[in-house]
């Protein structure tokens, strides 16, 4: 029998309750490498969400997507407060600056502190409105280089920036791309997107995919199909 190889997909477990995300994790776990627990889910269900995601999925990596952004001392304390959960990834906003990123990395050395560059929902006009020099490609590249120099070991960027960032950071830096949609899928609130195949070809290591899997009538079949398409 041929072993199933888990696809480099982080399933976004943004569900209405703990029972739902547990069911999604169980259904998709055999086919993907990672379970992503986001801010909405963690604030509602706390540690139980992380435990459920890990256990139901068969021990897949947990990506704790809290996007911390505060003064360095507060972010360090927040990182230490989730150390017992042993997440594989913990997100912080790269725009928090070098000292903040370094504080998180020092506080949680066993986790890949993951710097979020420019949210995939933002356009160049959005960046200008908040005073961030764009275009998005340039802003994401600058923030990625800054974050890696401060100790981040993974970067979140849109698929449209991943090739440029891959060219500027070491090979051991994990590049994570949300805004990934199979051809023909609805974009939802994402503005800068690509197909899974294109994102990987451009240098992504891990794809964040939510609704194309969790919104399917058959979550397991949707996860299996996406995994097969990337094999």
Residues taking part in catalysis: 67
Total H helices, total E strands in the chain: 11, 8
**CB atoms near residue 68 (< 10 Å):** 24
Which string of b and e fits 35-47 if b means at least 16 CB within 10 Å?
A: bbbbeebbeebee
Q: Distances in Å between the alpha carbon of 106 and those of 34, 79, 90, 111?
A: 24, 9, 13, 10
DSSP conformation class of 115: E
In angstroms, rounded to a whole number, what is the distance separating the alpha carbons of residues 89 and 112?
A: 5
In angstroms, rounded to a whole number, what is the distance separating the alpha carbons of residues 23 and 13?
A: 10
Q: Which residues pair with 112 in a beta bridge?
A: 89
């Amino acid at each position: 029998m041929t072993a199933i190889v888990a696809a480099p997909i982080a399933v976004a477990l943004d569900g209405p309750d703990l029972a739902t995300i547990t069911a999604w994790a169980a259904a998709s776990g055999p086919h993907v490498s990672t379970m992503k627990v986001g801010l909405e889910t963690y604030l509602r269900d706390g540690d139980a969400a992380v435990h459920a995601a890990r256990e139901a999925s068969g021990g897949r990596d947990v990506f704790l997507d809290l996007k911390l952004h505060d003064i360095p001392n507060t972010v360090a304390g927040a990182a230490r407060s989730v150390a017992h959960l042993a997440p594989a990834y913990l997100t912080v906003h790269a725009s928090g600056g070098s000292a903040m990123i370094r504080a998180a990395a020092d506080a949680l050395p066993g986790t890949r502190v993951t710097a979020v560059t420019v949210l995939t929902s933002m356009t160049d006009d959005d960046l200008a409105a908040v005073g961030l020099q764009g275009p998005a490609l340039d802003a994401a590249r600058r923030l990625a280089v800054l974050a890696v120099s401060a100790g981040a070991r993974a970067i979140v960027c849109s698929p449209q920036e991943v090739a440029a960032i891959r060219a500027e950071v070491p090979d051991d830096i994990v590049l994570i791309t949300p805004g990934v949609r199979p051809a023909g899928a609805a974009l939802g609130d994402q503005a800068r997107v690509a197909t899974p195949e294109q994102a990987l070809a451009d240098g992504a290591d891990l794809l964040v995919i939510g609704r194309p899997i969790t919104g399917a009538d058959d979550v397991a079949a949707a996860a299996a199909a996406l995994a097969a398409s990337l094999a």
